[in-house]
Amino acid sequence: MTLEAIPPILLVGCGRMGSAMLAGWREQGLAPSVAVDPAPAALAWAGPDLTVVPQAGAIPGGFTPEAVVFAVKPQNAAATLPDYAGYAGLSVFLSIMAGRTIGGMRASLGADAAIVRAMPNTPAAVRQGVTVACPGEGVGAAQRHLCEDLLRAIGKVAWVEDEALLDPVTAVSGSGPAYVFLLAELMEAAAREQGIPPELARLLARQTVAGSGALLGASEEDAAALRVAVTSPGGTTERALAVLMAADAWPAAVSQAIKAATQRSRELAG
C-alpha cells in the first residue's frame, strides 16, 4: 500500500519516539510543520519542513495543523495538554502516551476534541514498529485515515474499538522490545560464562536474536512451529528448552511480566 504525503503536523515532543515518527514522515514528504520541545537538542530536527519551538506559546501565528501529535511522557500530560486545547475542532489529536485515556485527555482538551490513542514501539526507529490505535468518539473517517498514515510511516498498524485493550497491548508490544533486548543481553552473558570471547559472544547473541526475528517476520508459520523445527529430538535445543519451558520458568515469568506491565499501564491513567 502506497503511503501518502504528510500534511502540516504539530508534534509535541521530539524524544526517541517523536523523532522516529518525524523521520518516517519526512521520508513520505512532510508539509511545513512545527515541533514543540524545550530540549536544545531538538533544534537539530529543524529544517525547511519543520520549525522547532521551545513551548506552545512560540508556535507561529496562523499555523493550523491537520493533527496534533502528543509524544511526551505520560507523567507530563496534565501540564502539557491544556496548552493545545485551542486546536479542538480544528485538528485531530493523536496521542502515543502510555496509559493516558481518551476520557482523561478530553478533560484537558475539551469535550469537542477528536482524539486517537495509540501505542507504538521502538522498532519504529527502523520503520519496523507495530502500533495499535483506538479512535475516540467523534473521530471522523478522514481523521482516522490521517492518523493511520502517520503511524504507517513507522511500521504496521492495527485498530481496536475497545480502549481497555491498549493496556495489555502496551505490555506486549510497547514494552516488548525491552524483553527481547534482555534476552540478547542474557544470552551474551551466558555465552561468556561458557568461555566464548566477549566480542564473539556479543555477535552470536545479537545476530541470533535479530536473525530469528527476521525469520519470524518473513515466515507464515506460527512461532511454535518455527521453534519445533529447530528442536531435534534428544538434541541440545531440546535440553535447553526443557529448562526454559518448565512450568516455573519462562511460561510463568512471561505471563507475570505481561500482567505487571498491564497493571502499570492502568495505573498511569491516574
Report in angstroms the alpha-carbon separations of 249 from 32, 47, 243. 52, 50, 7
Q: What is the pLDDT of residues 8-25, one digit of tens each?
A: 999 999 999 999 999 999
Fold held by 9-165 = Rossmann fold (3.40.50)
**Residue type at 52 in one-letter notation:** V
Asked if residue 115 lies in contact with residue 93, where contact means CB atoms within 8 angstroms, the answer is yes
Asked if residue 52 lies in contact with residue 46, where contact means CB atoms within 8 angstroms, the answer is yes
Report in angstroms the alpha-carbon separations of 220 from 62, 159, 224, 226. 49, 21, 12, 10
DSSP string, 210-262: HHHHHHHHH--S-HHHHHHHH--TTSHHHHHHHHHTSTTSHHHHHHHHHHHHH
Cell of 38: 524545550
| pLDDT for 1 | 47
Alpha-carbon span 199 to 127, nearest angstrom: 28
Q: Where are the domains of the chain?
A: 9-165, 176-268
CATH class of 176-268: mainly alpha
Q: How much is the average pLDDT of 33-51?
A: 96
Q: What is the pLDDT of residues 48-97, one digit of tens each?
A: 999 999 999 999 999 999 999 999 998 899 999 999 999 999 999 999 99
Alpha-carbon span 74 to 97, nearest angstrom: 5
Three-class SS state of 193: helix
- Which has more confidence, 144 or 5? 144
Three-class DSSP labels, 162-182: CHHHHHHHHHHHHCHHHHHHH
| pLDDT for 270 | 59
| pLDDT for 3 | 62
Neighbours of 52 (CB within 10 A): 19
Alpha-carbon span 120 to 25, nearest angstrom: 15
pLDDT at 269 over 80: no
Q: What is the pLDDT of residues 127-178, one digit of tens each?
A: 999 999 999 999 999 999 999 999 999 999 999 999 999 999 999 999 999 9
Q: What is the pLDDT of residues 217-250, one digit of tens each?
A: 999 999 999 999 999 999 999 999 999 999 999 9
Q: How much is the average pLDDT of 247-254?
A: 96
| pLDDT for 2 | 55
> Which parts of the chain are beta strand (E)?
9-12, 33-36, 50-53, 67-70, 92-95, 114-119, 129-135, 155-159
Q: What is the pLDDT of residues 183-204, one digit of tens each?
A: 999 999 999 999 999 999 999 9
**How much is the mean pLDDT over the chain?**
95
| pLDDT for 4 | 73
In sequence order, the 6+-apart residues with CB closer than 8 A to the CB of 260 are: 171
